[in-house]
Chain A
């Protein structure tokens, strides 16, 4: 008898009431959506499903507002009647219309009202194309959707990438319009301005700590094991549970850990919530001890006045009659918090700094041979290393303000003659930075000509160097987050040293992405990834504060449009947010630059 199969401890955990455990949930959600959605784009149903569970959205909905100025005047008697259309440029080059604005009559400096929704996805590059048309008078009675664009007068085109817009401080980008061939031409075609806003309902969240006294005893031989379940009343009259506390064993005066409730969960502060206190039973039949109906505003009042509210127990016989119990609910802690989103941080000046390390061990094969993983194909086809660098670099480069990336190689013999496990890819002795993703590619190609592949495969030095850079940056600013991409073909020789380096770096603003290329058995890398729940432990007994490593083997079969590297990048916003939120670092609202002096850091214990 007894709970032989069920995870009682699991059943006793708090659910839905924490804002911190996002990365785990997001990675599961991302994996689920990635497999099922097929990667053609955002899956609204999946997103909504996870939102109702209180999990952060996989992607963010953005609203684009458009305006233009100094448009070409096409009409004879009056001015042009402009309308704008936004397209997403797909991988194969085709255009997919995302939406269009309304038509504004007689205006060369239109400010359109109609907004266009786009789903922002951190892990892919999202090119956008804007077309502006002058709508012919005879179509003015039709709604904008029905207008056939090829019948309209083309006024100009512009293009950009979505992340360019959201990384700007005011989230606005102004682009020059040009004709379809891409030239600005003799005539000035004017400019178009795009402004992006997140459509997330609200960033408000409340943190509440509950306590009860004098609860009824529902257990025979011991005391009740109470937990609270909070539900929201929905329009149809029923209730939907939004979160529950953990179970406190054997206690009629329980104190629970604080819960965090987001506005998305409770709707509005006046919405009535039902708080039910149950006695936990491992069989699953929890007995109701009592319930209370309160809104967030009522709970705030309970906290301020430091009084308790009595539970009631609906009578089974008389449905309208409720017995008032001696048990009371108290609110020991009530505070409002703002849960900022990834884009809030980015547009306020926070940066992701990209760093690369490339494996130059002999197991890759002689670069001149076609079978080598380092073979540079004269036809232009990218090898695995180049692919990984491009796919990650192309996404992250927009989040790095100066586009100067540290780039290293490891496991190779440089011109100096000895094997180095952290040499500058650009071949220079002093500086390790290159300019732009093209700079990384050029440095990689030239390093292949001058460095001899050697070995063994050691990550420790590269990770320590990256950690030093991250550590140094903290003393100046708290708005930089570092991403180290390690591309390797083989199995680690120094697992202990790598673990030590990762544990030391786990409390720094650093994420390590490891891409495995070639056919080696990467089982060892999965230990580093720690997704199975085992936290990394160093040889000195220190344990990793957070899981900063993501590993993915490039050869895994991927269907649809999602690339393997995308799966890596999906985790990054979550890791970034976990780091910022645990330290209570907020997006900068003032116009002060990111390198504020240390005493302004809002570190709160």
Chain B
């Protein structure tokens, strides 16, 4: 949980079950826009053949500001008059950052897309890697484990993806 922005490596893998106007299959030329805030966004190339099951397999790198809470993923398709949003998914940052994941851990994630009316419209599959974060908590528990050769996790309250106070223990870390 640093105060600087981090680089996110997002690989948009594929989409499933996309429809236009709830009934028609997506004809072609679907692409994905990934956004962390209004200034940071990247897009993939359009997939010309997949139709409702497009595959992009494209890696996008973008900045994630320190206080960003969502990564927004939008599937759009090109129509005559511009772009039409097929579906959107908002990925909470806590799903891939913070917590006990080691730096550069590759997360494979999938989310439900919803269209502009809020109806379900397919699934998006992607992978996310937060580049080069300092995960001090992870390193500390790791060293403790190496030193005592017991499991690092000894029970207690479960914290999933968020730190909310508690006692901080300093453990000397030596380079293995």
Q: Please list the residues of chain A having a beta carbon within 8 angstroms of any beta carbon in chain B.
A: 248-249, 251, 257, 424, 430-433, 464-465, 467-469, 471-476, 504, 507, 535, 537, 540-546, 582-583, 595, 597-599, 601, 603, 605
Contacts and interface: CB of A to CB of B under 8 A. Distances in A.
Given A464-B160, A541-B114, 4 more contacts: A474-B100, A476-B145, A543-B110, A605-B106
A582 B107 CA distance: 11
A543 B120 CA distance: 13
A441 B105 CA distance: 37
B10 to A, nearest CB: 10
A601 B176 contact: no
Given A541-B111, A545-B109, A431 B145 contact: no
A474 B105 contact: yes
A424 B158 CA distance: 15
B160 A468 contact: yes
A603 B108 contact: no
B110 A475 contact: no
B158 A583 contact: no
Interface stretch (B29-37, B76-84, B149-157): B149-157
Contact of B158 (A468, A507, A546, A598): A468
Contact of B112 (A251, A537, A582, A599): A537
Contacts of A472: 100, 141, 151-153
Given A474-B101, A475-B138, A598-B102, A541 B112 contact: yes
B42 interface: no
**Main secondary structure on chain B at its contact with chain A?**
mixed
B129 interface: yes
B145 A595 contact: yes
Nearest to B108: A545
Contacts, number: 102
9 contacts: A467-B160, A471-B99, A475-B139, A476-B142, A541-B90, A542-B110, A546-B108, A595-B145, A605-B106
Contacts of B151: 433, 469, 472-473
Contacts of B114: 541
Contact of B100 (A251, A471, A543): A471
Interface of B: 9, 11, 49, 55, 59, 89-92, 95, 99-112, 114, 123, 127, 129, 135, 138-139, 141-142, 145-146, 151-155, 158-160, 176
Contact of A474 (B49, B102, B146): B102
B141 A605 contact: no
A510 B99 CA distance: 18
A535 B110 contact: yes
Contacts of B99: 471
Contacts of A542: 91, 95, 109-112
A62 to B, nearest CB: 31
Contacts of B91: 542
Give the top 10 A-B pairs by smallest Cβ distance, nearest first.
A475-B138, A543-B110, A598-B102, A475-B102, A541-B112, A476-B142, A472-B153, A545-B108, A603-B106, A468-B158
Nearest to B106: A603
A543 B112 CA distance: 7
A375 B54 CA distance: 55
B148 to A, nearest CB: 12
A465 B101 contact: no
B101 to A, nearest CB: 7
Contact of A464 (B142, B152, B158): B158
Nearest to A249: B49
Contacts of B152: 472-473, 476
A428 B164 CA distance: 27
Nearest to B156: A430
A542 B138 CA distance: 25
Contact of A605 (B9, B146, B159): B9
A431 B154 contact: yes
A471 B59 contact: no
Nearest to A250: B49
Contacts of B109: 507, 542, 545
A362 B95 CA distance: 36
Contacts of B110: 535, 542-545
Contacts of A464: 158, 160
B127 A605 contact: yes
Contact of B55 (A257, A598, A599, A605): A257
A248 B101 CA distance: 39
A300 B153 CA distance: 49
Nearest to A583: B106
B12 to A, nearest CB: 12
A605 B8 CA distance: 13
A226 to B, nearest CB: 12
B118 to A, nearest CB: 11
A582 B49 contact: no
A473 B145 CA distance: 10
Contacts of A598: 102-104, 138-139, 142
A475 B160 contact: no
A601 B102 contact: yes
B89 A469 contact: no
Given A468-B158, A472-B100, A605-B106, A251 B142 contact: no
Contacts of B59: 605
Contacts of B153: 468-469, 472
Contacts of A597: 142, 176
Nearest to B123: A543
Contacts of A507: 107-109
A166 to B, nearest CB: 24
A475 B101 CA distance: 6
A396 to B, nearest CB: 17
A594 to B, nearest CB: 11
B166 to A, nearest CB: 15
Nearest to A9: B53
Which residue, of A431, A507, A546, has the highest number of chain B Cβ atoms within 10 A? A507
Contacts of A583: 106
A591 to B, nearest CB: 15
B169 to A, nearest CB: 15
A356 to B, nearest CB: 15
B141 A475 contact: yes
Contacts of B102: 474-475, 598, 601
B154 A475 contact: no
A195 to B, nearest CB: 29
Contacts of B123: 535, 543
B104 A603 contact: yes
A430 B145 contact: no
Contacts of A582: 108
A504 B145 CA distance: 25
A601 B138 CA distance: 15
Given A476-B142, A535-B123, A601 B100 contact: no
A144 B92 CA distance: 68
Contacts of A544: 110
B100 to A, nearest CB: 5
A379 B154 CA distance: 37
Nearest to B96: A507
